[in-house]
Amino acid sequence: MNEKKIILGIETSCDETAVSIIEEDKNGKIKILSNVVSSQFDIHKEFGGVVPELAARSHVEKIDLIAKKAITESGVNLKDVSAIAATSGPGLIVCLTIGLNFGKALSASLNIPFIGVNHLEGHALSPRLNTKLNFPYLLLLISGGHTQYLSVNGLGKYKRLGTTIDDALGESFDKTAKLLGIEFPGGPKLEGFAKQGDADKFKLPKPIINRGGCNLSFAGLKTAILKISSSIRSKQEKYDLAASFQKTIEEILEVKTQIAFDEFKKFSKKKGRAFVIAGGVAANIGIRKKLIKVCKKNNFRPVFPEAKLCGDNAAMIALVGLEKYKVKKFDNLDLPASPRLPLDKKAKFLKGAGVRL
């Protein structure tokens, strides 16, 4: 398979309808030919969170338009596409089904292979779309639904070093923002609030900071913010609480990343160690600065995927599809949508009451 490969990727696991076409030339160089993402912020903002049925309805309404746009922008003729890749999990089942079925129908009608993709594997490999990066590398995935440290050892090869035992970090940002009266999704705007506040004004808890290795917990932090926010009135106090929250998160990530580094160092070569920070929250400037500092101290190369590849997109899904296509890892058209689809299948499920670390 030395010829040019063109993969069409589809992503509908949550509230983004996305289609992308990527190409790998015969020298192994990857190019993103189109990367169309349509977000549903306006649909969900009045509810303060994603409403699955509304998200699914919007995917149904938009998927063919988004696909047409991606195909037109890429300049590719559909008959030249090598394979179709679609997210099969994890995510909201009613949403996953839309993109998955659209992808299956497209692959059947074009008579080309169909490839189901783990959304998290998309995030994990996404920096390889535009950065030279050898395996293994350490990944911190921080998004609205996931927070994990993973050793990325190759296609389909992941070792989870740590995970959140309750809320995801993006969820924690969004919930805090909501308590401060910021519209959903509040994560990005909360950072703006934080810049205007006094970060030492409120002392917030750092759950499981001294135990549980590089596992994380944010639920206690949310409860503390809920208590404080009910008694604050002025705009300045809101800024102060946002700043205190931002600072606490940075400090938690500093400690936990150091632990993740120490664990990763045990089974990676000293030279050329890289630390990738991906997922929507990786756009947070304060977190970036703090993690770059930890990298310098430990001699790791920090890698941040481009902003448009940090959040949910279909180029990362097409990339995993491309890697699987090269090793002929195809799926049948009866592949089900899987709401829960861990990257490291051997890792223990660490969520809910009674979790022991």
Angle at 277 between CA 327 and CA 95, to 5 degrees: 65
SS3 301: strand
- Which listed option, Zn ion, ligand KG4, none, makes contact with residue 185 (CB within 5 to 8 Å by class)? ligand KG4
Cis before 342? omega within 30:
no
3-state secondary structure string across 11-71: ECCCCEEEEEEEEECCCCCEEEEEEEEEECHHHHHHHCCCCHHHHHHHHHHHHHHHHHHHH
- Which listed option, Zn ion, ligand KG4, none, makes contact with residue 136 (CB within 5 to 8 Å by class)? none
**Minimum distance between the CB of residue 210 and ligand KG4, rounded to whole angstroms?**
25
At 44, list the tokens. Answer: 């969900």
Q: Which of 237, 219, 7, 200 is nearest to 122 (CA)?
A: 7
Distance of alpha carbon 46 from alpha carbon 314, whole angstroms: 26
Long-range contacts of 223-226 (CB under 8 A, 24+ apart): 225/175, 225/176, 225/179, 226/179
- Which listed option, ligand KG4, Zn ion, none, makes contact with residue 321 (CB within 5 to 8 Å by class)? none
Distance of alpha carbon 273 from alpha carbon 302, whole angstroms: 9
**Minimum distance between the CB of residue 17 and ligand KG4, rounded to whole angstroms?**
13
**Minimum distance between the CB of residue 51 and Zn ion, rounded to whole angstroms?**
18
Q: Which is nearer to Zn ion, 204 or 216 (CB)?
A: 216
Q: Which is nearer to ligand KG4, 191 or 323 (CB)?
A: 191
Question: Which residues form the interface with Zn ion (CB under 5 A)?
Answer: 143, 312
Q: Which is nearer to ligand KG4, 83 or 320 (CB)?
A: 320
**Minimum distance between the CB of residue 289 and ligand KG4, rounded to whole angstroms?**
12
Q: Which is nearer to ligand KG4, 136 or 145 (CB)?
A: 145
Q: Which is nearer to Zn ion, 82 or 87 (CB)?
A: 87
Q: Which is nearer to Zn ion, 216 or 281 (CB)?
A: 281
Question: Which residues form the interface with ligand KG4 (CB under 6 A)?
Answer: 14, 143-145, 170, 173-174, 185, 187-188, 191, 279-281, 283-284, 311-312
Distance of alpha carbon 324 from alpha carbon 322, whole angstroms: 5
**Minimum distance between the CB of residue 305 and ligand KG4, rounded to whole angstroms?**
10
- Which listed option, ligand KG4, Zn ion, none, makes contact with residue 174 (CB within 5 to 8 Å by class)? ligand KG4
Q: Which of 182, 171, 178 is nearest to 142 (CA)?
A: 171
**Minimum distance between the CB of residue 143 and Zn ion, rounded to whole angstroms?**
4
